[in-house]
């Protein structure tokens, strides 16, 4: 009897719950239709067909009265609205909001973006060409307003709220692309790219519109991710750059004007990086750098116009990434410390060799002398670190991969050295150099002295961000393989003719002018020394094969 009573009570509670849920859904449905019918009736009544749109003040008043206070109710009603009806209503809402001036209640724009974003997450809207055009116009206007770029006027908005709204704009754009199922026309993709480029460019301008504080501006991190105010801006740029790369790769025929617009924005970011001469090492910035370089690769891989005016600036920026993530955490950072050419306290070296005691330290010995001494006297192969000397011996096996675990970016010592996945940025920079080499080899050959060493190739020293630094000393195998591939591209083709002017001299006067022919001769000698050393010590067969290819090209190109 008690069980029957309990069962009856449970059924009554369930029925009351179902009735309550049904009542809530019907109430939210009623609120949705009341709000949108009111908006439709009053705006159509004030602007008959073939007449100008309704006054912006009327639209702003209607939205404030009928939408902002019940936005949560409208979102809860969205799953119960037929898709065609929801699509028509959302299209009407964003079309009318686009007519409101930017400085007329910009906080309302943020609420409408939240509403459209949340509705998009709840229901599959029926996306077609008219809906796409209206949404892009609306999102483009919202982006311009939220990033304080309205006709040169600054619109004061709550920073956190506006940054959240921009992220929601990007989420809506991604939703539109996915919902349109890849059916975007060239014009629609072009419009989408222009909005994304505006997001990147304006976000960058907002980050650095205020002057830097006094002090050492070269190493200022006030605009870096350590400042919470700018953290979200870097994340916004990262998401936008990833989307730019995705959209760009889908377009079959990119126009010259569109390509120039993209390269202009990317050059703006790369030039800023080169001007600072310091890369910030943390998770947020590593993702930003990697997405920027990958996007740049997509644009450089299929150039639609001349690149000669961009090559020098891009190489200066890309060169900084050759050692990204490998600088010491102490006072010895690339570009800092005193003016003497001291060694960098590199964590790469410490991860590969055991640091000897002070009594083991000694002067530098050339490789041929070391080999001769090893035959007569046992010399520890880990002898590498010098306490007073500013040079080092290259340890045996340095640059080799003795096991499959070293091929992974997350195994063994690489996990400690690459906790921000910084090797992805180094590899992406090397791939961009390859793109420049294939797109404009003539312009790149003039910059060989920036990319290749002219002395002391076997010594990892400061200010030596070059391709041989990557090939010899990078702890990640994939990066060394990418560096070898880059060298092979540079030595192949037209560069063999360019190198015929190279000449070798044993020594030159300190401070004297070095001609291009002598510089090329020095580069060739350093490449020979570095590649031969790696051929003798490399254990990974894949990299060894790439090294032999580089050596063959090097021999054929050397006069």
Residue 118 — very low, low, confident or very high, per pLDDT cuts 50/70/90? very high
Q: What is the pLDDT of residue 43?
A: 83
Q: What average pLDDT does this structure show over 76-103?
A: 90
Confidence (pLDDT) at 366: 54
- Residue 184, SS3 per DSSP: coil
Cα–Cα dist 118/112, whole Å: 10
The DSSP string of 440-500 is -HHHHHTTHHHHS-SS-TTS--TT--SHHHHHHH-S-HHHHHHHHHHHHHHHSTTHHHHGG
Mind giving me the DSSP string for 236-269?
A: HHHHHHHHHHHHHHH-SS--HHHHHHHHHHHHHH
The pLDDT, as a whole number, for residue 276 is 85
Residue 265 in tokens: 């924005």
Task: Indicate the range of 155-169, 310-324, 408-422 predicted with least confidence.
Answer: 408-422
Higher per-residue confidence, 79 vs 415: 79
At residue 150, φ and ψ (nearest 5 deg) are: -95, 100
Q: pLDDT tens across 357-413, in order?
A: 333 344 555 555 555 444 443 333 323 222 223 333 333 333 333 333 334 444 444
Chain mean pLDDT for the chain: 76
Give the pLDDT of residue 483: 96
**Regarding predicted confidence, which is higher, 306 or 494?**
306
Please give the pLDDT value at position 12.
52
Q: How far apart are CA 166 and CA 182, in angstroms?
A: 23
pLDDT at 417: 61
Q: Is 153 helix (H, G, I), strand (E, B) or coil?
A: strand
């Amino acid at each position: 009897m008690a069980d029957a009573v309990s069962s009856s009570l449970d059924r009554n509670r369930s029925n009351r719950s179902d009735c309550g849920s049904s009542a809530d859904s019907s109430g939210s449905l009623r609120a949705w239709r009341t709000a949108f019918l009111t908006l439709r009736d009053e705006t159509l009544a004030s602007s008959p067909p073939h007449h100008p749109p309704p006054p912006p003040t009327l639209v702003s008043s209607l939205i404030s009265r009928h939408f902002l206070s019940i936005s949560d109710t409208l979102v809860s009603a969205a799953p119960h609205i037929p898709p065609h009806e929801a699509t028509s209503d959302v299209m009407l809402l964003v079309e009318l909001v686009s007519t409101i001036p930017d400085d007329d209640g910009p906080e309302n724009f943020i609420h409408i973006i939240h509403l459209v974003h949340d509705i998009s997450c709840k229901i599959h809207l029926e996306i077609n060409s008219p809906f796409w055009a209206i949404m892009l116009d609306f999102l483009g206007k919202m982006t311009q307003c939220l990033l304080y770029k309205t006709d040169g006027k600054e619109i004061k908005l709550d920073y956190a709220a506006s940054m959240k709204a921009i992220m929601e704009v990007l989420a809506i754009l991604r939703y539109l692309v996915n919902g349109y199922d890849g059916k975007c026309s060239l014009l629609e993709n072009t419009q989408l790219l222009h909005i994304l480029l505006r997001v990147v460019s304006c976000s960058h301008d907002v980050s650095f519109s205020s002057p830097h504080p006094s002090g050492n501006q070269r190493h200022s991190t006030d605009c870096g991710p350590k400042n919470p105010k700018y953290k979200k801006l870097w994340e916004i740029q990262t998401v936008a750059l990833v989307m730019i790369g995705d959209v760009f790769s889908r377009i079959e025929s990119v126009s010259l004007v569109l390509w120039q617009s993209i390269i202009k924005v990317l050059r703006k970011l790369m030039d800023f990086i080169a001007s600072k001469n310091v890369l910030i090492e943390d998770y947020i910035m590593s993702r930003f750098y990697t997405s920027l370089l990958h996007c740049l690769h997509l644009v450089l891989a299929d150039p639609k116009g001349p690149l000669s005016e961009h090559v020098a600036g891009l190489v200066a920026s890309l060169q900084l990434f050759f050692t990204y993530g490998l600088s010491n955490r102490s006072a010895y950072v690339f570009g800092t410390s005193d003016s003497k050419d001291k060694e960098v306290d590199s964590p790469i070296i410490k991860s590969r060799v055991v640091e000897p005691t002070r009594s083991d330290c000694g002067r530098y010995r050339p490789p041929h002398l070391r080999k001769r001494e090893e035959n007569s006297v046992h010399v520890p192969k880990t002898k590498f670190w010098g306490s007073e000397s500013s040079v080092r011996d290259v340890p045996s096996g340095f640059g080799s991969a003795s096991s499959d675990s070293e091929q992974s970016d997350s195994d063994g010592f690489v996990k400690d050295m690459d906790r921000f996945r910084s090797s992805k940025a180094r590899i992406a920079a090397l791939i961009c150099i390859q793109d420049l080499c294939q797109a404009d080899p003539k312009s790149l050959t003039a910059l060989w002295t920036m990319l290749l060493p002219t002395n002391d190739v076997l010594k990892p020293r400061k200010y030596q961000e070059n391709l041989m630094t990557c090939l010899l000393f990078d702890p990640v195998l994939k990066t060394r393989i990418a560096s070898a591939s880059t060298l092979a591209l540079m030595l192949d083709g037209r560069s063999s003719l360019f190198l015929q002017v190279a000449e070798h001299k044993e020594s030159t006067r300190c401070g004297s002018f070095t001609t291009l022919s002598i510089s090329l001769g020095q580069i060739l000698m350093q490449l020979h020394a570095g590649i031969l050393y790696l051929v003798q010590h490399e254990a990974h067969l894949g990299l060894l094969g790439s090294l032999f290819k580089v050596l063959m090209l090097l021999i054929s190109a050397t006069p």
